[in-house]
Structures are given as structure tokens and as C-alpha cells.
Amino acid sequence: DLPLLAGERKASELLNIGYFAQHQMDALDGHASPMLQLTRIADKQISEATLRSFLGSFGFSGERMDTPCESFSGGERARLALALIVWQRPNVLILDEPTNHLDLDMRHALSMALQDFEGAVVLVSHERQLIASVCDELLLVHGGKCTEFEGDLQDYAKWLREARQQQINAQTAVAQNNSSSAATAPAKVDKEAQRKEAARRREQTRPIRKNIEKVE
């Protein structure tokens, strides 16, 4: 856990967080099958049929349920990690790019499952369809701050365009200012050179001017 910078955090005694990210997939026991890994965290009185039915809902067939997961694809490992999290019935889900490695059918199944989830979901994703179907509140991380974003994904796309245009305008203004400064700099140098040249000429013509004054 990250240390608090300010304030305090009080966690409910009933808080049960399920966290899905890449390291959950990496932490799977490659020598154990999905069935074995689920059995390890399930209550002893849960029947094998119930466990197999649950794994089947995550796309595991009879053979794959009993196959060590070291040979699994990224999608299979992601499904297994999600299955182990969901089995523990968390009331808060933190999902970091959960659809990576998932095929279209599993993405749809995940979306439907999250819509039916009765707890809180914190979702980090680049998949707009998943965000639109699951999330009812958006948070904007910008400029070192995290604030609630008023609007939907279409409003966010508009905000992005405006922010990029502001950045382009600022860069253009800086470039024009630098160009203007560079253009005026030679003029200052030329004026200084002209003053020096005028002083040199006055020095050269001083004897002539004195002779003229004597003649007059």
C-alpha cells in the first residue's frame, strides 16, 4: 500500500478487495491446473461439480480444467486469474486493463458480469465500450490531480481535442516569440556596429576637420 500524503483512511471490517492486474497472471502456479488452484481457495464442503461448473463459466473445458496452466495462453491465464478473484466474492473490484488477452466473447461476458456486480468497481481500461457499459462515474487524471469528470466518453473526447489544441497554440506562440526575438537580435547588433563605424570615421577625419577650422 502507498503511504497516505494527507488525511486518514478507514477501511470497513467487511471490506474485501479483488485486484486484477498483470502481476496476478504472473503469480499463477504454472504447475497447477485451474481445478487445483480453485480447490486451494474453496471451502472443503464445496462439491467438485460446483467448482467445475464455475470454471466452465469462464470458458474452461473438461481437459483444460485439469491441465497445468504453464502452457496456457495469455487469454487463458487472464480468465483463470479473474475466476480466482471472482470466486472469493470481493465487494470492491480493482481492474487494471482486464480485457487484455481476452477474446471478444470473454470481453462481452466480463462486461455483463460487471454490470451485474453489486459491489464497487474501479476500472482502468482503454476499451471505450467496456467503460461505457460498466462505469457510471469517470475520474480525470491530469496535471498531477485526480478529479471527477463531468460528462461521458464523448465529452472526454471533446476535452482531449481542446486540450491538444491548447497545447498546439501554446507551442506555436512560443515558436513565434522565439522567431521574433531572433529576428530583432541582428538589428541590435547592426546598430551597435553602425555606432562603432561612425566613431571610427570621426576619429579618422578629425585631422582634416582641424585643418579646415584653421583655414577658416
117: domain CATH number is 3.40.50.300
List pLDDT tens digits, range 59-100. Answer: 898 899 999 999 998 888 888 998 999 899 999 999 998 888
Structural domain contains residue 150: no
Residue 15 confidence (pLDDT): 92
At 212 the pLDDT is 54
- Position 16 scores a pLDDT of 92
Residue 33, in any domain of the structure: yes
Any domain includes 197: no
Overall number of domains in the chain: 1
* Residue 74: per-residue pLDDT: 86
How confident is the model at residue 185, as a pLDDT?
A: 56
Question: What share of the chain has pLDDT > 70, as a percent?
Answer: 88
Q: What was the pLDDT predicted at 177?
A: 78
Q: Which three cell numbers stand for residue 40?
A: 486451494
Residue 67 and residue 139: Cα distance in Å, rounded?
40
Answer whether residue 210 is part of any domain.
no
Residue closest to 24 by CA, chosen among 64, 73, 92, 83: 83
| Residue 40 neighbours by CB under 8 Å, 6+ apart | 32
Say if 118 falls within a structural domain: yes
Low-confidence ranges of the chain (pLDDT < 50): 215
**pLDDT number for residue 91:** 92
Please give the residue range of the domain that contains residue 97. Answer: 17-136
- pLDDT recorded at residue 171: 84
pLDDT score for 166: 87
Q: What is the pLDDT of residue 149?
A: 92
3-state secondary structure of 124: strand
Is residue 180 one of the residues assigned to a domain? no
Identify whether 84 is part of a domain. Answer: yes
User: Is 208 among the domain residues?
Assistant: no
Task: Write down the pLDDT at residue 210.
Answer: 58
User: 174-185 as b/e, with b when 16 or more CB fall inside 10 Å?
Assistant: eeeeeeeeeeee
Q: According to the model, what pLDDT value does residue 68 have?
A: 94
CB-count burial class (<10 Å; 0-12, 13-18, 19+) for 138: middle
